[in-house]
Amino acid sequence: MHIKKQTILLLIILFSSKLFSQELKYYGSFEQGSLVIVDGNNIEWAWLDSTKLKVDDKKLLTFGFDAKETENKILKIKHNDGKVTLKKIYLPLRKYRVQRINNTKRQFSKTADSLQQRIKREREIIKKSRAKIGKTDSAFYKSGFMRPIKGGRISSVFGSQRILNGVPKNMHNGLDIAVPRGTPIYAMADGIVRLAGENFYYTGNNILLDHGQGINSFYFHLSKLLVKEGQRIKKGEIIGRVGTTGRSTGPHLHWGVQWYSKRVDPAKILQLRFN
Ligand SMILES: [Zn+2]
């Protein structure tokens, strides 16, 4: 009887310490192009500078730093009991690769005027789809991340600066994986399809997935789209097949990940073992 009482008391202590625990676990690095996930308990609210962060079940939250972000940040997390954790974040600069491409094909370096309208229209569609991302507190990404392609050669890394015929172009905002046409593409995490775009000028057949709390992923140049807008997707589900549609020079998947509009490195999110 005596032992039983002690056991019960111990259980109560363990349970309540869990209940009132203020321990915060950080996953991911504090640097340019990185996604961070914070796991805690009894979180009332969290802010990154002036951005209010979404918190799932008082416990899980995320934020990311753009590839070119240079400003220092302050993370503020308040627990139910009133305790506030303050964390100053200094972002070390990353060195990115420079890729010089000399292409003699004229249509690759200059966009014809007749295409401007089409490109503008497609940009509007993308903007509308992106506006739907990360509206709820739910962390759909909870069950973790996976690589959307099995195997394959990395043909272009995230962050590389392309210089086309001597003219600096946009930074490469994803990871290119070269695999044969038709190779299945898996959703990198649970989520909702926000865009299943057909035959866009730059991105070809393309998919945009919303993984909750601002995390989103995109897949370009597909030969086949296998999902519809608004559809709920599970991690590992086949969403499409690799192709070379849009502005692409051969079959490959351009895989991108962002936190809202902050461009993060897809290769790094695979190292996050938070779940
Ligand atoms: Zn690419």
Tens place of pLDDT for every residue, the chain, 275 residues?
455 666 655 555 555 444 555 689 999 999 999 999 999 999 999 999 999 999 999 999 999 999 999 989 999 999 999 999 999 999 988 889 888 888 766 555 456 778 899 999 999 999 999 999 999 899 999 999 999 999 999 999 999 988 888 888 889 999 999 999 999 999 999 999 999 999 999 999 999 999 999 999 999 999 999 999 999 999 999 999 999 999 999 999 999 999 999 999 999 999 998 88
| Cα 252 to middle of ligand 1, angstroms | 8
Q: Which domain-ending residue is among 89, 112, 140? A: 89
Q: In this structure, what CATH number is given to the domain that contains residue 208? A: 2.70.70.10
Q: C-alpha 157: how far from its chain's center?
A: 15
Rounded to two decimals, the pTM is: 0.88
Q: Are 186 and 255 in contact (CB under 8 A)?
A: no
| Cα 65 to middle of ligand 1, angstroms | 20
| Cα 265 to middle of ligand 1, angstroms | 12
Q: Are 235 and 176 in contact (CB under 8 A)?
A: no
| Cα 228 to middle of ligand 1, angstroms | 23
Burial class (CB in 10 A: 0-12, 13-18, 19+), 175: buried
How many structural domains compose the chain?
Answer: 2
Which H or E run contains 151? none
Max distance between CA atoms of the chain, in angstroms, equals: 87
Query: Which residues line ion ligand 1, judged by CB < 5 Å?
Result: 174, 176, 254
Residue 19: give the domain boundaries. Answer: 2-89
Percent of the chain that is helix, strand, coil (3-state, to 5): 15, 40, 45
- Regarding whether 228 and 164 lie in a shared domain, the answer is yes
- Regarding whether 207 and 109 lie in a shared domain, the answer is yes
Q: Which domain-ending residue is among 21, 54, 89? A: 89
Q: Residue 188: name the closest of 274, 126, 267, 243 by CA.
A: 267
| Cα 92 to middle of ligand 1, angstroms | 25
